[in-house]
Chain A
Amino acid sequence: MIRTARRLWRPLIAALTLTASAVTALGAQGTLSTQGLGFPPGQLSTKAATMGGAIGEADPLSPLNPAAISLLTASVIMMQAEPEFRLLTFGGASQATSVSRFPLFIGALPIRSKWVVMASASTLFDRTWGTTARDTQVVGTDTIGATVAQLSDGSIEDVRLAAAYTVNSWLRLGVGGHAYSGRDVLRTIRNFDDTLRFALDTSRSTLGFGGGAVSLGAEALWPKVAAVGLSYRRGGPLRTYQGNDVVRTSSAPDHVGVSLLYLGIEGTTLAVRLARDDWSRSAGLSPTLAVHEGLDLGLGADVRGPKFGGGSMGLRAGARWRTLPFSNGPTAVREQTYSTGLGLPLGPRAEVSVGGLRAFRSGPAGASESAWTISTGFLVRP
């Protein structure tokens, strides 16, 4: 099942099925990276992601710093695809899984000479996962075996409307309003060994998410010297719904980040980024959430490459270190990502960015996970 753009525009209140029984915790979700509320892709464009996220706070196509969008000189539409291929290793056994993501959609429009506005939808948490396990229960005098599959399909999206203003030749300011919207459909499929007496059982529940935040940003640019991007996002309420009922209330995570770019080498950008997200503000959504916080550090470089498509190809590489926000216990999941990519101009009106990200994750109970992510961004200038 491929997640499509329409998921980004779902209403805040999702449809509910069935009764108002108590909502129970799930405990864990099958892989290291999709625990808790889900996997945070990082809200980075392909270009930023292939540079280790280093330019994230100064990148107009990454919906983190609203001031950065002032760097756009023409209207743009961009979409991004990031299928991920994971290999989980646990107890000497390995299992491969894959998930398709479309983590970013952007539309931006310069207004006159000093203003730029942008609407974007980016994935805050991806809650797509699945597990299959055996279950045996003794009911009366019968021992009943079954294979239980649990599937989750959904996400929490950050829909942002941002505006940036160019104050002067070196300073830009921006502000953004965020609406968090999401839906998660969970299915449990129990397939009994004794198909003659027992019928296949499928249960389904739907959770909705809704919340808001506001972000502020600043960007300073000294051409051919350096650039600095600084952003701060203050999370507002974040709620979990079943139908019209609020079942949990917490707060959206705050975010603060800074990117430093060195532009002193002709055709080259060297960057470093340091960011932090207060994931613990979301702990109220579940009493069993194991939340961890840490710094998100990225290093990256972008070098002008050979001529291509009326412009120059961009050659990118980077590395990123961060702590994933959720695990199933007190031990956090640490992630290292090494990336490389290309920026391919396709004439004056289009550009494709493509790259590969190799991630390594280590977590509790000796579990480890490695993943390849193919990030592809399609940008057009109408």
Chain B
Amino acid sequence: MRRIRPLLVAVVACGTIAACEEQLESGVACPSLCPQQAAGMKDTTFDAVEYDTAIAGYPPTGAETELLFADRPGVLDARVIVRFDTLPAFFKHTNFPDDSAITSIDSVIVRLRISRSDTLGPSVTIDAYDVDIDTTGIGPVDDTTRAALLAQFTPDRVVGSRTFTALELGDSIAVPIDPSFVLDRILDSSGTGRRRLRLGFKMSASQPAEFAVHASNAGYPPVLFIRQTGDSTIQTNIDFAYSSTPATDRAVAAEVADFQLIAAGPPPPPPNVLRVGGAPANRVYLRFNVPSAILDSSDVVRASLLLTQRPNPGSPSASDTDYVTPFEIVSGAAVTDIRRALVFLGFSMDSISLAPGDSAVRSFEVIDVVRRWRGTSPTRTPRSLALRANREGRSAWQADFFGRGAPPAVRPQLRLTYIPQSRAGLP
């Protein structure tokens, strides 16, 4: 019996504990025996945008994963800049114990890995330009700006060219570079002190054409091949895109090893129109003013951003559909530069598929970000979000929306469905 007692207690205790799992929810007697439902939902649509703007230049220079080549007269002229700021001075000669100095070059090519192409399109010609800026006597120059670089695309600075048929735009393209030009840079024969290659690639075609190559950020950097002799037994020197400037910021330098240059883009939108996408790509910034009586004192269950799309039939790819996506902006109030704030994009929300040539009221579901504004102070946590095109930086696709300065019927609005809070509970 003494042995049974502890076992008995354990059995009773375990049985009691096991029986304590609750299953509370009962609805079979509703509504007779159930609580009255909470107050009905309310719905309101209002002009909630207190500030809006669209800013071009995204993704930021050097942050691209694709580099676009485009020749669309009057619409888009897209070029590619690549830097090879380290050049080999020696090569490994067959059966020689030591490296040999480079004193001659047989051939040089730059290989670009294709990411998107049209193998049914026209033949294209890729010209390579020397875009290295001689700053002697003129002081420091920001050699990533459009104006500074465009000035280098002159006929006397062409250092290589090749025509490719559409079928050749498959895996990659190899653009030949003048070997004497490269040798001059390796040996610094001109005494410029610039032992580097900075090349600008420009496409031309008999018809509008475009294709894209991978950027270094995509893991497929442009590659420079230097063959010293025609002897195939001698190893070819291989160099990857690399930038040594700005010397004071290695992170920026890494970004500008290769980057996009938009020589000409679509015309800007008219006033009171917010453009998403394009070339260079625009992002839209919207800042909201939502009444605290709704945001903080009610439970918002649905939030829809209503934007009226302005038809843009003259847009590149006007009939092509693509997505526009709203993003939460995660930068705080300390970031007052909107261009910079638009870099800090957090989670994305429901995206809308549309064609630039269409017109309609587009409804973006933004409940996730509106709920995060609850209980926050707008002076510390700006109530803002961004719009971004899915093809940003990879095409000139763009969509236009009316801004808050447009006529009332087409202004941006916010539709909120909410449940007024009631502190229920007394029987």
Contact = CB atoms under 8 A, between A and B. Distances in A.
A223 B33 CA distance: 49
A144 interface: yes
A201 B301 contact: yes
A244 B238 CA distance: 76
B16 interface: yes
B423 A36 contact: no
Contact of A128 (B21, B22, B30, B367): B22
A24 B24 CA distance: 22
Interface stretch (B6-14, B51-59, B270-278, B307-315): B6-14
A285 B426 CA distance: 8
A375 B210 CA distance: 80
Nearest to A96: B23
A26 B425 contact: yes
Interface in A327-348: 328, 344, 346-347
A36 B427 contact: yes
B41 to A, nearest CB: 5
Interface stretch (A135-143, A162-170, A297-305): A135-143
A203 B23 contact: no
Interface in B1-49: 1, 5, 8-9, 12-13, 15-17, 19-43
Contact of A374 (B9, B16, B350): B16
A221 interface: no
B424 A26 contact: yes
B86 interface: no
B419 interface: yes
A106 interface: no
Contact of A88 (B12, B28, B42, B299): B28
Nearest to A290: B427
Nearest to A154: B425
B306 to A, nearest CB: 13
Contacts of A289: 427
Contacts of B42: 139
A1 B22 contact: yes
Given A19-B297, A367-B32, A376 B425 contact: no
B6 to A, nearest CB: 8
Interface stretch (A114-122, A145-153, A172-180, A262-270): A145-153
A37 B26 contact: no
A158 interface: no
A97 B25 contact: yes
Contact of B36 (A26, A184, A207): A26
Contacts of B5: 309, 346-347
Nearest to B423: A205
Contact of A24 (B41, B301, B304, B422): B422
A76 interface: no
B22 A139 contact: no
A286 B24 contact: no
Given A23-B423, A149-B25, A190-B301, A81 B367 contact: no
Contacts, number: 224
Contacts of A260: none
A354 interface: yes
B216 to A, nearest CB: 38
B27 A132 contact: yes
Contact of B301 (A30, A38, A192, A354): A192
A9 interface: no
Nearest to B297: A19
Contact of B20 (A35, A100, A354): A100
The interface residues of chain A, by DSSP majority, are classed as strand
B16 A26 contact: no
A2 B22 contact: yes
A31 interface: yes
B21 to A, nearest CB: 7
Nearest to A243: B423
A248 B36 CA distance: 20
A186 B34 contact: no
A352 B9 CA distance: 8
A26 B424 CA distance: 7
Contacts of A38: 427
B365 interface: yes
A352 B12 CA distance: 9
Given A18-B423, A148-B37, A205-B424, A309 B1 contact: yes
A113 interface: no
Contact of A199 (B13, B20, B301, B426): B301
Contact of A25 (B39, B304, B427): B427
A175 B36 CA distance: 42
A123 interface: no
B346 interface: no
Contacts of A128: 22, 24
A248 B21 CA distance: 33
A97 B24 contact: yes
A81 B423 contact: no
Contacts of B297: 19, 21
A203 B27 contact: no
A100 B28 contact: no
Interface string A238-259: 0010100001100000000000
Contacts of A205: 423-425
A222 interface: no
Interface in A68-100: 81, 83, 88-91, 93-100
A30 B424 contact: no
B371 interface: yes
A288 B419 CA distance: 24
Nearest to B18: A83
Q: Tell which of B16, B21, B42, B420 has the most Cβ of chain A within 10 Å.
A: B16
B36 A27 contact: yes
A197 B349 CA distance: 11
A347 B2 CA distance: 9
B21 A100 contact: yes
Contacts of A242: 423
A32 interface: yes
A326 B368 CA distance: 42
Contact of A95 (B1, B15, B26): B26
A280 interface: no
Contacts of A94: 28
The 6 closest A-B pairs by CB, nearest first: A130-B24, A100-B20, A26-B35, A95-B28, A90-B29, A133-B30
23 contacts: A2-B22, A21-B421, A24-B422, A26-B36, A28-B32, A28-B35, A29-B35, A37-B427, A90-B29, A95-B27, A95-B28, A97-B25, A100-B21, A131-B30, A132-B27, A135-B37, A137-B41, A139-B41, A140-B43, A148-B38, A192-B301, A247-B426, A344-B8
Given A30-B27, A98-B24, 19 more contacts: A19-B421, A26-B425, A83-B19, A88-B26, A93-B28, A97-B24, A131-B27, A133-B30, A133-B31, A140-B43, A151-B24, A198-B302, A199-B368, A203-B299, A308-B1, A347-B5, A367-B32, A374-B19, A378-B9
